[in-house]
Amino acid sequence: GCTHTRRRSGVSGVNIGQRRLHNQRITAPIDGGPADVVAWLGAVQAQDYEPAKWGVGMRLKGATDAAIERAFNAGEILRTHVLRPTWHFVTPSDIRWLLALTAPRVHGANGPIYRRTGLDEALLQRTTTILVQALQGGHYLTRNELRAAVIDAGIAVDDGLRMAYMVMYAELEGVVCSGPRRGKQFTYALLDERAPAATTLGRHEALAELAGRFFISRGPATVHDFSRWSGLTVKDARRGVEAVGATLRREDVDGRTLWSPLGERPRESAAPRAHLLSVYDETISGYKDRSDVISEPDAGRLQALGNALQAVVVLDGRIVGTWRREVRKDGVAIEVKLSARWSEADALAIEAAAQRYGEFLGLRCTVSIILEEP
């Protein structure tokens, strides 16, 4: 790819945070459906399901929570354990090659818990067979219903952890994945029945494909960012970058090598642009180094609050605070906590971002902004 050495501000004065928002499709939403967003990002962290739907929706033109729920129930996007030991949204066409590439590492990470809960390979394969028998023929069952099937077969399920890892093993083996929701409950389905046309790729092709998706959708980013997000070793992450280097721009910034898509054209906005990011949004979880988007004092404050559990407010490409919602009978109330004083223009931008969230839920939205105590 092309090589450029730039100061921190990035392309045409647009900072790294703003460039990521553009490539992540937050400031350049996709005109399509939920599966188009998930395919663009490769995978979307989704253990917290409701915020994860907003993470998809804010990258789509005119998206609603109900439309993403319909797409999930129809199997246009699936939810399974992949990349790391957590749930992600993936598309039916991508799920098999993603699992083949990343599941061995997740199994390795799960090894201590398999051993602690007495789940050896023979027992895990036996429980997987039981799950297949219970689900085949288009049955969609909750985890509790699968648990009953395992107990009926004479296998002890002492606590929630043991059952959770039995099902996760079957997900990682490409046997089960998400089914449609039953009310608010999640169900499981057979992957063969839910994604019969899934693509398969060789390991080298899969590494190249995942690296390409990551840097085109999340650049500017480093090899270490890619390694952390994908769950792959740094060595494999480098191999992936080498395979797609001709499609990427290389920049050396503050002693780091950053990769981003060729032909990137983010525009600088005169007005403050604010975004209410979901918990575990890919703008946060997609990077090992977050120094480009948050100051050290703010990072420390966020860490003290429990960094991973915070939904964050982004203003002009930088994290400036946190937000939380309360759904009421008459609408949704949003409370924003900022770490520093704000201008009237900042407040208007944040209120506009809150209104976008209200429209996504189909609810009237009220917003309050307060200064976070140091």
- Within 13 Å of residue 19, how many CA atoms lie on the same side as its CB? 24
Crossing angle for the helix pair 344-361 and 49-57, to the nearest 10 degrees:
110
Residues 35-60 pLDDT 10s? 999 999 999 999 999 999 999 999 99
Q: Which residues pair with 176 in a beta bridge?
A: 190
| Contact predicate 278/54, CB 8 Å | yes
In our burial notation (b when 16+ CB lie closer than 10 A, e otherwise), range 235-251 reads ebbbbbbebbeebbbbb
d(CA 88, CA 56): 12
Residue 259's SS3 state is strand
The pLDDT assigned to 303 comes to 60
- Mapping DSSP to helix (H, G, I), strand (E, B) and coil, where does residue 24 land? coil
pLDDT over 80 at 148, yes or no: yes
Percent of the chain residues past pLDDT 70, beyond the cut? 92
CA distance 333 to 368: 8
pLDDT band per the 50, 70, 90 thresholds, residue 207: very high
pLDDT, position 254: 86
Amino acid at 98: L
Q: Please, which pLDDT band fits residue 5 given cuts at 50, 70 and 90?
A: very low
- Category of 331 on φ-ψ map: left (φ > 0), alpha (ψ -120 to 50) or beta: left
Confidence of residue 126 (pLDDT cuts 50, 70, 90): very high
CB neighbour list of residue 41: distance below 8 Å, 6 or more residues apart = 24, 25, 59, 213, 217, 218, 282
- pLDDT digits over 262-314, tens only? 988 777 777 779 999 988 899 988 888 777 777 666 666 666 554 445 789 99
Assign 12 a pLDDT band (cuts: 50, 70, 90): very low
Lowest-pLDDT choice from 68-77, 275-284, 357-366: 275-284
pLDDT at 269 (0 to 100):
72
**pLDDT for the residue numbered 267:** 75
Mean pLDDT of 75-97: 97
Q: What is the pLDDT of residue 160?
A: 85
Residues 6+ apart with CB under 8 A from 207: 101, 232, 236, 239, 240, 243
Task: Give the mean pLDDT of 331-351.
Answer: 94
DSSP 228-244: HHH---HHHHHHHHHHH
Q: What's the mean pLDDT in 110-128?
A: 96
| Structure confidence at residue 4 (pLDDT) | 35
pLDDT at 169 over 90: yes
Alpha helix segments (H runs only) across 5-159:
16-23, 34-41, 49-57, 65-73, 95-116, 121-135, 143-152
Average pLDDT over residues 69-82: 98
- Which of 177-191, 248-262, 273-287, 305-319 shows the lowest per-residue confidence on average (mean pLDDT)? 305-319
Question: Between 291 and 111, where is the model more confident?
Answer: 111
Residue type, 281: D
Beta bridge partners of 275: 314
Q: In which band, very low, low, confident or very high, does the pLDDT at 61 lie, cut at 50, 70 and 90? A: very high
Mean per-residue pLDDT over the chain, rounded: 91
Mean pLDDT of 177-182: 98
pLDDT of the residue at 7 = 33
- Separation of alpha carbons 72 and 52, rounded Å: 12
Predicted confidence band at 14 (pLDDT cuts at 50, 70, 90)?
Answer: low
**Contact yes or no for 220/253 (Cβ under 8 A):** yes
Task: For 258-272, write each residue's pLDDT tens digit.
Answer: 999 998 877 777 777
**pLDDT at residue 171 tops 60:** yes
